[in-house]
Amino acid sequence: MTDEPFRPALHLTPPKGWMNDPNGLVKVGDTWHVFYQHDPDSTTHGPMHWGRASTLDFMDWTHHPIALAPEGGWMCYSGSAIETDDGVKVFFTDHKSLPGGQERQNQSLVHADLEVGNFVRDPANPVLPSHGPGVFRDPKVFRHAPTGRWIMLLTTGQQIAIYSSANLVDWTFESTFGATEGFHSDAPWECPDLVELSTPEGETAWMLCVGVASGAPWGGTGTQYFIGDFDGRRFVNRNSADAAHWADWGHDFYAAQSFSRCDGGDAVWMAWASNWVYARQTPTRAFRGALTHPRILSLRKGQDGLRLVQRLPDPLRSALPEVSLGDVSCPPACRCAFTLAPGEGLSLFGAATPQLQNSVDGRRLIVNRREAWAEGVAPGFAGTHAVLDGEGPLRGEVYLDHGIVEICLEDGGLWITELSFPERVDVAPRIVGLRG
């Protein structure tokens, strides 16, 4: 599908229509199954369906018929999927908009076979009805081995609710997390996930992540995470309640979800590569929206405790053609390693000003998207933001795919995902000097 310049070659996009959050990520056998928020009939957010695709390698995608469609005015909002002894179980939010701008949201269960097809809604639906109008959505279900129970995470506004179940149908409320922790704005938290990770030395901890629907440091949506302990009932943050940790420091990494997998392999997640501020206006034609590359998750112990590390899975990374800085041109999907000394920047797509700048004193990293959209700019897209109090040279690798830019720094400890809509997507990255 290369019908338009900003259709990525490797990242998952819908054949046509709208895409937002990844949903129901589940690995069964060798196959990675991906659903996504989808409107097949328009390129903007509308009556939400679940689109469906699968892959063995995150490069070649097979598209399948739509898995879930609205019924009786109830839309299919985000959720998750798990493999059980009795097939694959899918949980999603039945959503209805009410007069006066309110919303009604219930959690429903759908049965599927191990090919992840033949979807049948459970007669007991909704298995977890809401108590009234308001945010009550995005069920992420997983097995908690020590207690032998299923856990469901939901967003209930600016906090996460945790439920447990022995049979996937009857759910018991356990606890909430987050009302006074981490970053809050005037918008809800969305799409929670909770996964146990480890350091290379074998130390383990749980990572809880949530999408923050607006007000992230760069503007609009962002994904924050907490490191802590989870006993099957309650999540306890190991860090200060005031601290906010961001899984990605770019505009375009949202609603991240980890794959449910029974094979004991590494945790892997994907996110929606866009931002609610301008997601409905990006300049594609037949489709709108893409998922990020998958990233393998782990932890690293630093001076401030445990922090999230993300890496591209190796078969995918090594399949990307390697481009050297200063090459005249490059394939639109490629990777390029770089080192930025203080006072240097990384220029992408032939832009006059660099998109990534290591400040002259080497203490701040600036992301600049002022020139990243050739034809026009939606509000909230252009601009610059500072990333961290770094120091010295910055080593990293940039992954490009027709305007999707994913930058990995600090050996996976810092990521920046940014969409670009340049005149040409085949100009190789180069390093430029900045003036003091």
Please identify every residue annotated as catalytic.
21
Q: Which is nearer to ligand FRU, 219 or 413 (CB)?
A: 219
Least Å distance, CB 211 to ligand FRU, is 6
Minimum CB–partner distance for residue 19 and ligand FRU (Å):
10
23 close to 80: Cβ distance less than 8 angstroms: yes
Q: Are 316 and 57 in contact (CB under 8 A)?
A: yes
Determine the Cα–Cα distance for residues 239 and 188; give it in Å rounded to an integer: 22
Residue 164, SS3?
strand
Least separation in angstroms between residue 315's CB and ligand FRU is 29
To the nearest whole angstrom, how small is the minimum distance from the Cβ of residue 276 to ligand FRU? 7
Q: How far is the C-alpha of 197 from the C-alpha of 8, rounded, in Å? A: 30
CB of 95 to ligand FRU, least distance (A): 7
For ligand FRU, which is the closer residue by CB, 39 or 397? Answer: 39
User: What secondary structure, in 3-state letters, does 226-253 show?
Assistant: EEEEECCCCEEECCCCCCCEECCCCCCC
Task: State which residue, 48 or 116, has the beta carbon closest to ligand FRU.
Answer: 48
Give 243: exposed, middle or buried? Use CB within 10 Å, 0-12, 13-18, 19+: middle
Per residue, the 3-state secondary structure of 383-419, as one string, reads CEEEEEECCCCEEEEEEEECCEEEEEEHHHCEEEEEE
Is the CB of 77 or the CB of 249 nearer to ligand FRU?
A: 77
**Residues at the contact surface with ligand FRU, assessed by CB under 6 A:** 20-21, 37, 48, 77-78, 93, 137-138, 190-191, 211, 255
The least distance separating ligand FRU from the CB of residue 37, rounded to whole angstroms, comes to 4
Name the minimum Å distance from CB 193 to ligand FRU.
Answer: 12
Contact 37, 21 (CB under 8 A): yes
Query: Which residues share a beta bridge with 386?
Result: 366
User: Could you give the CA distance from residue 399 to residue 416 in angstroms, rounded to a whole number?
Assistant: 10
Nearer CB in complex with ligand FRU: 77/278: 77
Q: Which is nearer to ligand FRU, 156 or 347 (CB)?
A: 156
* N-terminal to C-terminal alpha carbon distance within the chain: 44
Residue 285 · residue 4 · CB < 8 Å: yes
Task: Record the tokens describing residue 177, joined without a space.
Answer: 């997390």
Residue closer to ligand FRU, measured from CB, 93 or 355: 93
For residues 78-98, one letter each, b for 16 or more C-beta atoms within 10 angstroms of the residue's C-beta and e for the rest, the string is: bbbbbbeeebbbbbbbbbbee
In whole angstroms, the minimum distance from the beta carbon of 76 to ligand FRU comes to: 9
Single-letter code of the amino acid located at 112: A
Give the whole-angstrom CA distance, residue 114 versus residue 85. 9
127 Cβ contact partners less than 8 Å away, ≥ 6 residues apart: 91, 107, 108, 109, 168, 169, 170, 171
CB 111 within 8 A of CB 87: yes
Residue 132 or 264: the one with the smaller Cβ distance to ligand FRU is 132
Within 10 A of 147 (CB to CB), how many other CB atoms are there?
13
Six-digit token string for 170: 């009857």
